[in-house]
């Protein structure tokens, strides 16, 4: 781009409030969780629901994510990140939300929401993320 010229495709970046972030992701859907796994930084897609302000998703008990999200010390949780975004490429608009907090292993009978899992029926273990930090950005077309 040449100096002094404006990019006609450029937009404005807006910081979202925590309340707006939670509203945007409230319907549930597919997001990504990130954490430090045994082989290094790890990211998995997950089906999630928002339940009482916490992110809930299903995993396979004994699987890679289950093992990585256990600290091995009672009452010490592993901190993870959850991210979801919505991009409208046609209109050059979108938003992204990031939630960081501890991952809690939860018994199925303690969860009142059903989280569908497109990754398979063997995902019968629930993880709940208690948000400690919620941030988000929206890009708006000029």
pLDDT tens for residues 15-53? 999 999 999 999 999 999 999 877 789 899 998 989 889
Of 142, 139, 136, 129, which is closest to residue 24 (Cα–Cα)? Answer: 136
- As a whole number, mean pLDDT of residues 98-106 equals 92
Confidence band of 70 (pLDDT split at 50, 70, 90):
confident
If one compares 101 and 3, the residue with the highest pLDDT of the two is 101
Count of the separate structural domains present in the chain: 1
> Does some domain include residue 74?
yes
> Does some domain include residue 5?
no
Residue spans of beta strands (DSSP E) within 10-77: 11-15, 29-37, 40-51, 54-59
> Does some domain include residue 39?
yes
The most distant pair of C-alpha atoms in the chain lies apart, rounded to whole Å, by 61
Spatial contact of 49 and 25, defined as CB atoms under 8 Å apart: no
> Does some domain include residue 85?
yes
Spatial contact of 60 and 52, defined as CB atoms under 8 Å apart: no
Residue 43 belongs to a domain with what CATH number? 2.30.110.10
> Does some domain include residue 25?
yes
The pLDDT of residue 1: 40
Its domain, for residue 23, covers 13-141
- As a whole number, mean pLDDT of residues 130-135 equals 96
Of 59, 40, 39, which is closest to residue 48 (Cα–Cα)? Answer: 59
* Placement of tokens 């941030």 in the chain: 135
Tokens coding 12: 């404005």
> Does some domain include residue 18?
yes
pLDDT over 70, % of the chain: 76
> Does some domain include residue 2?
no
> Does some domain include residue 95?
yes
């Amino acid at each position: 781009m040449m100096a002094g010229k404006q990019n006609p495709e450029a937009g404005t970046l807006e910081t979202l409030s925590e309340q707006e972030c939670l509203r945007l992701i409230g319907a549930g859907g597919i997001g990504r969780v990130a954490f430090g796994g045994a082989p290094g930084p790890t990211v998995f897609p997950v089906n999630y629901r928002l339940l009482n302000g916490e992110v809930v998703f299903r995993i396979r008990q004994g699987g890679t994510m289950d093992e990585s999200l256990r600290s091995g010390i009672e009452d010490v949780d592993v901190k993870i990140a959850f991210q979801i975004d919505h991009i409208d490429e046609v209109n050059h608009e979108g938003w992204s939300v990031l939630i960081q907090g501890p991952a809690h292993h939860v018994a199925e009978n303690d969860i009142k929401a059903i989280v569908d899992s497109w990754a398979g029926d063997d995902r019968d273990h629930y993880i709940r993320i208690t948000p400690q930090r919620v941030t988000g950005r929206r890009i708006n077309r000029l």
